[in-house]
Amino acid sequence: MTLRAVWAEGWWSGAVHCPSPNQGPRPEGMVVDMVVLHSISLPAGHYGGPQIRQLFTNTLDPSGHPEFEALRGLEVSAHFLIRRDGQVVQFVSCERRAWHAGSSSWRGRENCNDFSIGIELEGLEGLGFEAAQYARLVQLLRSIKRRYALKMVVGHEHIAPGRKGDPGPGFQWWALRLQLGWADQRFPEVATQKKKSF
């Protein structure tokens, strides 16, 4: 029997905690009601290393890889990272505002960082993700829904179209919706279009 993960001041017990300095307070009285899904790999297409953690904690060496120079001085974070093997790392309390969405809008609401939780999936935009990642994502989303007033799960591509494309066409929205058993209205329209299941 698996114990249900619990929350303490916005930190999830099902995750490894690795606090990021790249965060701040949410606007007073703001209700957290959306999750934004992203994909990330550093360097692109490489998995399992410390580079994502280093990026989110401002310790990434820009000289470590030619791609990293473009990231020099960048201060970003997400609340969670789900690695390829399903391990979950949390960088920011969900009570706080992580810096994951950037310039963004959803259904007339600007600045999605203010009211969303950001979840990064270790992967390359446009390619697929592992079954272990989907299983942990489902567990995490269900736990978030129990704790917060979750109304929507969207991708970065939906809140910043033309600027961002992640998690991309390799992400199985329809299968995620089906496994969660949540109403279509909680997802972008693509989640109602049947594709292969994970």
What amino acid positions are annotated as catalytic residues? 120
- In this structure, the number of other CB atoms found within 10 A of the CB of residue 4 comes to 11
- 164, 157 Cβ separation under 8 angstroms: yes
- In this structure, the number of other CB atoms found within 10 A of the CB of residue 151 comes to 14
- 58, 87 Cβ separation under 8 angstroms: no
Residue 120: φ, ψ to 5°: -95, 135
CA-wise closest residue to 190 among 158, 161, 151: 158
